[in-house]
Structure 1
Amino acid sequence: MAQFRYIVDDVDAAIAFYQGKFGFTLEEQYGPAMAILSKDDLQLWVAGPPASASKPMPDGRKPEPGGWGRIVILVDDLDAMVASMTESGVTFRNQIVEGPGGRQILCDDPSGNAVELFEPS
């Protein structure tokens, strides 16, 4: 099983987003500090401000949400998923783009972390 960690602003908001939008299951929660969610062969660890993963580095840099690293969620009907998520207020970074392997779009979770929705060809 692969594990992936996102730094988030609010662990409860992250849990609601990943459960509600993508069907992740909450495995464990450590208050506002951290939660572990799973879907298929992926564990997503979300670390809030109190988590050790959110502590500043020795040089002063502070881990924060955002950036371009992302998990990829495979979907069967990208248009329907985008319509549903748009209706519920999810923010998208771009429009649907097509490539040799399929179609994709990037949305933001509640903390601004990228999530790629991908519909294979």
Structure 2
Amino acid sequence: MATFRYIVDDVDQAVSFYRDQLGFVLDQQYGPAMAILNKDDMQLWVAGPPASASRPMPDGSKPAPGGWSRIVVVVTDIAATVEDLRQAGVRFKNDIVEGPGGRQILCEDPSGNVVELFQPG
């Protein structure tokens, strides 16, 4: 099982997004500090401000949400998924694009972390 960690601004918001919008299952939550969610053979750890993963580094830099690294969630009908997510108020960075392997679009979780929705072609 692959495990990923995202730094988030609010663990409850992140849990709601990944569970209610993208079909993850909440495994454990440690208050506002951290939650562990699962989808298929992927595990996602979301770490909020009180989490040890959010502590400043020795050089003073602070872990923060966002960036271009991302998890990929495979969907069977990207157009319908995007429509449902848009109606739920999810932010998208682009429109659906087609490539040699399928179709994809980038959305953001409530903290601005990028999630790629991908439909194999």
Residue 104 of structure 1 deviates from its aligned partner by: 0.2
Residue 18 of structure 1 deviates from its aligned partner by: 0.4
Q: What's the Cα RMSD here?
A: 0.5
Q: Please list every run of at least 4 consecutive aligned residues from structure 1 whose deviation after the TM superposition is greater than 2 angstroms.
A: none
Instruction: Point out where structure 2 has 5 or more consecutive residues left out of the alignment.
Output: none
The match for 2:34 is 34
Within a 5 Å distance, the mapping from 1:88-103 to structure 2 comes to: 88-103=88-103
Using the size of structure 1 for normalisation, the TM-score is 0.99
Instruction: Point out where structure 1 has 5 or more consecutive residues left out of the alignment.
Output: none
Looking at structure 2, the residues matched to 82 and 46 of structure 1 have their Cα atoms a distance apart, in angstroms, of 23
What is the percentage of aligned positions where both structures have the same residue? Answer: 70
The match for 1:24 is 24
Residue 6 of structure 1 deviates from its aligned partner by: 0.1
Residues paired across the two proteins, number:
121
Residue 97 of structure 1 deviates from its aligned partner by: 0.6
Residue 62 of structure 1 deviates from its aligned partner by: 0.3
Looking at structure 1, the residues matched to 39 and 95 of structure 2 have their Cα atoms a distance apart, in angstroms, of 25
Looking at structure 2, the residues matched to 117 and 28 of structure 1 have their Cα atoms a distance apart, in angstroms, of 24
Q: Secondary structure at the match of 1:3?
A: strand
Looking at structure 1, the residues matched to 23 and 99 of structure 2 have their Cα atoms a distance apart, in angstroms, of 26
Within a 5 Å distance, the mapping from 1:1-121 to structure 2 comes to: 1-121=1-121
Q: Secondary structure at the match of 1:86?
A: helix
One-letter amino acid of the counterpart of residue 18, structure 1: Y
